[in-house]
Each structure stands twice: as structure tokens, then as C-alpha cells.
Structure 1
Amino acid sequence: MKILVIEDEKLLADSVAELLRSKGFEVEAAYDGEAGAMYAELGVYDLLILDVMMPKLDGFAVARQVRAKRLGVPILMLTARSALEDRIAGLDAGADYYLTKPFDTRELLACVNALLRRQGAQVDELTFGNTALDLASATLVCGEESVHLSAREFDVMRLLLQAGARNLSKEAILARVWGYDSNAVENHVEVYIGFLRKKLSSIGSNIRIETVRRLGYHLEVSET
């Protein structure tokens, strides 16, 4: 399970992230609304934990942007603003639950688990066309054929499957798979796209990874 914490109080964001990691979640943190929205719109997270009062974009704006992209990821808002009007504004912006600061860590964990259960987030595979990606074994499966993916191949393929027909830029893939601080360049993405095309072909998949100049990649189903 991948969780994104968007919180401008770095100490709190990192504390929440460490708590969730100790419970087995994979967690990333963003420290302002603009960066948080960019991460969230990649569409790779199972849950967003979102502060309201942040620089660049507030939490309400981030939630609205995420929902405008038609992303159904659950959103848990954390905020010191406990007035009824603020809670209503958060829910209207697209939040699923509103938790006020200070909060008990047990309540936070209960909210996280409840939202993930409600979302049916215990997904064990992603499918497109005649092909499935088994998330537990990092294996692409098409009928009776299957092929194992390396860790990088798996991360890139998962992003592509979650984006589906929506274009995913090379920059977004680099940021999500290699990280913003990595020395990796766009050629790394091209190499792994090539690996994935060969593996899809080897199992008879009807998935095509299409390249759109300046926009990146998306998936299509071949009709032949």
C-alpha cells in the first residue's frame, strides 16, 4: 500500500510517515501543496493524508485538483481547523474524512485502515487488455504465459497500468520510480520501456506502450 503525506510541518509529516512505515505501508511525503498535488496526480497512491493550511496550494485546492483528474484515491484531511464550516469545506472539496489536530495515533491508524477497507484497496493485480500484473509476485500474466519483472520494470509497469490510456510523462516516471534526487535521466525511462515492450510481446500480450512526442507514454490495446 502506497500512502502520500502532504503536510508543510516537516516534523509532523515525517513522524506520520515513520508511524505508517512501522505498520508496513510504503510512504512518501511532500511539504507543500503544489508538490503534493503533482505527486498525487501521478495516480499511484492508495491513500492521501492531506493538511489544509499549506504554502503554494492549500489542502482544499489540492483535493479539488485530485478529484478534477477523476482520481478516486481516498483523502484523509489533517488540520487544526475544527470549525463545522471547515469540515464541510473539506468534504465538499473531495475529502473522505476529516481528522483534527492534535490527534491520537491510534485514531489516525484506525482512519487509515477504515478508508483503505472502504476503498477496497486490497488490490492484488492490475489488468489492461488481456494482461494482468500480479502485484505480489511482480509478474505479468497473459493466459497461460507469464514473465517476472525486475523491481524497476515492475514500478514502471505499475505506473503505466494505473495511468491506462492517460499520458504519463517521462518526468513523472523518473520522479516516481527513480526519485527527484536521482542522477537518472530520460534515457533510463526509454530503456525500461523497451524492456517492458519485449516482455509484453514474449507472453502474447495485446498491450501496446505508445509513445506520444513531448507527452510521454500511455497504454493501448492492439486489435490485431
Structure 2
Amino acid sequence: MTGETSGRPVAVVVVEDERDLREEVVDFLTDSGLAVRGAANGAELERLLGEAPADVVVLDLGLPNEDGISIAARLQARPAAPGIVMMTARGRVEERILGYQTGADIYLVKPVDYGELIAAIHATLRNRSAVDRVAPAGEAAPGLAWRYDPAEWRLSAPSGASVRLTRAEAQVLDCLTDDPGRPVSRDTIGLRMGKIADLGEHRYVDQVVSRLRRKVASELGWEAPIGSAHGQGYYIVGSIMRADD
């Protein structure tokens, strides 16, 4: 796996207030061929980005003075926003959802295997490069946003490629995109599909979601933007736009 992009080393900033951990991550990523700098907080990150841009920011959330969520939102507002890999001890479903809604490309919960961290960095770069390739000339890439057209029953990946949905698959996305990021129970999804909510319908909803995930992976080469929360149902992961919004 190469540590370069456009003929130069991948530029990474690791934002972590725990000094020993920050230095350990910086050393490991540097040994892996990346160009890595470390920052203890948001102010240091801004200073480093002022000196040179970053392709990816590895961002802790529990930081002094300014929370990582606020930093991520600020990074996403930049004209050329870096990829964001959140690496944090916060592992609750609600926290992961908030991380994706705020701008995380990938959300990792500590302790993190460093091999997985490197894979996450490169996956972020690949996904963002796919968006750049399909962006019209002179226009900024819209970020890692999916698009759902309920009238056409069509789901489009950030790359621009799309897939035709069945009625049942579209009904699932109708539910999940009403309030993206909020978990929707299987009962609610089943009722939207005209089913009576019981254990059997739960299995039916699971089967539809499973088929949709396989279809997206097979036809688009992307992981479907659908997460599952134990005991709560399904939710949208990342950013998605509805054509009727």
C-alpha cells in the first residue's frame, strides 16, 4: 500500500492531547511512509494547517479547550476540507452517529490497531478521490454525500454511480432519510412498508436491509450508508441528500 498521493507523501495531522499516544501514532504512521505531524489541540492544528495543508486529519474528540466535534465541523467548512478519521474512546452509537454527521469519514473507537488506522486513512483518500473524479470542472466536490431519489427509487453513491431500488428497499430509505442519523425502529420501518409489526416482520425488514447492502456493495463498490443500532433499529451513516428536499 503506497504512502503517496499525486506523487508526494500523504500528509496527515494527528490531533491527540495525550502526548505519549500522540507520539506513538505519529512515529508509527511516519514509519509507514506518511508525512505526519502531531497537534495537542485545535489551536495547534490550525497553526499546522496554516503552514501546510493535510490530506487527512486523525482527530480525537476529548480535547482540551475545544471538543473534536467542533473542530471537525470547522474543518468541513473549509473550501478544500481534509479527510477526517475520528479516533476516540467515545463508542456509544449516539456519539458515532454525531461523529459521522459532523464530518467523520471513518470513526474508530480506541484502542485502535494501527494497521486498521492506516487502512482507514487510505480508504478515506480513495473515497474522496472518487468524488473528485466525478465533480464537474470548476465545481468543488460535494464531500462524501450520497443521494436518494424517492420518486425514481434510485440511490447514488458519492462517486456518482447509482443503483435502482425495489419498492421495499425504497421504503426503508424513505424511513431512514426522514431524519438522517436518527435510529429508526424495525416496527416503524415495518409499518411504513404496510406490515404489522411483530417478530416476523422484524426478520423481513432485516432481510430487505441485507439485500440492499449486498446490492450496493455489488453494483456500486461502496458500503451502503446504513448502520444498525442494537435494540434501536437502523440509521443513516454519513451524509445523504434527498432529491425532494
TM-score by length of 2: 0.47
CA distance in 1, matches of 2:58, 2:51: 15
Distance of aligned partners of 1:43 and 1:62 in 2 relative to their CA distance in 1, 3 Å threshold: farther
Q: Which amino acid aligns with 2:107?
A: Y
Distance of aligned partners of 1:16 and 1:24 in 2 relative to their CA distance in 1, 3 Å threshold: same
Q: Does 1:7 align with 2:16?
A: yes
Distance of aligned partners of 1:42 and 1:58 in 2 relative to their CA distance in 1, 3 Å threshold: farther
> 4+ runs of 1 displaced by more than 6 Å?
none
Work out which of the residue numbers 64, 74, 86 in structure 2 matches 1:65. Answer: 74
Deviates more, 1:107-116 or 1:17-26: 107-116
Distance of aligned partners of 1:93 and 1:21 in 2 relative to their CA distance in 1, 3 Å threshold: same
Find the counterpart in structure 2 of residue 187 from structure 1: none
Count of residues in Structure 1 that have an aligned counterpart in Structure 2: 122
In structure 1, the gaps of 5 or more residues are 124-224
User: Secondary structure of 2:65's partner?
Assistant: coil
Work out which of the residue numbers 30, 34, 47 in structure 2 matches 1:21. Answer: 30
Q: Which amino acid aligns with 2:34?
A: F
Work out which of the residue numbers 32, 35, 39 in structure 1 matches 2:44. Answer: 35
Q: Does 1:55 align with 2:64?
A: yes
CA distance in 2, matches of 1:43, 1:97: 23
In structure 2, the gaps of 5 or more residues are 1-9, 133-245
Give the CA deviation at 1:62.
0.6
Give the CA deviation at 1:60.
0.4
CA distance in 2, matches of 1:25, 1:119: 18
Give the CA deviation at 1:95.
1.2
Deviates more, 1:109-118 or 1:59-68: 109-118
Give the CA deviation at 1:37.
3.5
Find the counterpart in structure 2 of residue 176 from structure 1: none
CA distance in 1, matches of 2:52, 2:93: 30
Give the CA deviation at 1:119.
2.1
Q: Does 1:103 align with 2:112?
A: yes
Q: Does 1:87 align with 2:96?
A: yes
User: Secondary structure of 2:126's partner?
Assistant: helix
Find the counterpart in structure 2 of residue 78 from structure 1: 87
Mapped contact 1:37–1:62 kept (Cα < 8 A): no
Give the CA deviation at 1:90.
0.9
CA distance in 2, matches of 1:102, 1:49: 14
Give the CA deviation at 1:94.
1.0
CA distance in 2, matches of 1:65, 1:42: 17
Distance of aligned partners of 1:96 and 1:77 in 2 relative to their CA distance in 1, 3 Å threshold: same
Q: Which amino acid aligns with 2:29?
A: L
Q: Which amino acid aligns with 2:110?
A: K
TM-score by length of 1: 0.51
CA distance in 2, matches of 1:42, 1:69: 15
- 5 Å-filtered alignment, 1:1-224, equals 1-40=10-49, 44-120=53-129
Task: Summarize deviations over 1:87-139 as a string: whole Å, max 9, x none.
Answer: 11111111111000001112111111211222229x9xxxxxxxxxxxxxxxx
RMSD: 2.0
Mapped contact 1:2–1:26 kept (Cα < 8 A): yes
Give the CA deviation at 1:43.
6.4
